[in-house]
Amino acid sequence: MVILLAPWGRRRPIEITAAYAYDSADMINASFLSQQFASGLPYERYLQTGNEEQRRRWTQVHEAARLTDAQKELVSGFLREMKILIFSGIWCGDCVEQCPLIQRIAEANTKKIALRFVERHRDTELPPELRINGGNRVPVVLFLSEDDEWCATAGDRTIYRYRAIALRKLGPLCSTGIVAPEKAEMDATLGDWLNEVERVQLMLRLTPRLRQKYQD
């Protein structure tokens, strides 16, 4: 916990996620991923690391995002525990317009989906294995098993989000997130993320080592 002095002179406590120590030999090692997950923050605590305007942007997307009844039923039926670790930027427009959607998915089955966020500050770099197209682009989403084995990596944008940006004639590299995305775009992007979460859940459901463990 650190104390920051706000511009208007009042002090307020801010919880900061631990910076990651990079070791190329351990990047996708279960021990490294376990440490990163343990240092990450749940959604609500992560939002508190941002300023008032940043929290407003994240909250408006989260409030607008809704799973359908069929989607809720799908997620509530998950049997395997899974972890989702997001390297994010509280300041990043792409994170604003996507990470709250992943939170909505996690909320549909908190017993089986654990979600944590690690902040990438503007002046820091991601480990090479997490860079997308050679850049420090966020969000980067890592899907882990219950015992911290790496299953998949996704990001920085889903296919529908890329299509929407392309339709707007290749808009800004990183959108502002000041205004929530259109409902159709949000719903489709939510569907993209749900497909990836479901894919990893099925991976875990069918993997021989976990089927042997649970005798199912």
Helices (H), the chain: 30-39, 43-47, 52-64, 69-76, 93-96, 99-107, 159-167, 183-206, 208-214
Question: Per-residue pLDDT tens for 149-192?
Answer: 999 999 888 988 888 888 776 655 445 555 556 888 899 999 99
pTM: 0.82
Q: What are the tokens at 21?
A: 């120590």
More confident call, 24 vs 167: 167
Span 48-65, average pLDDT: 97
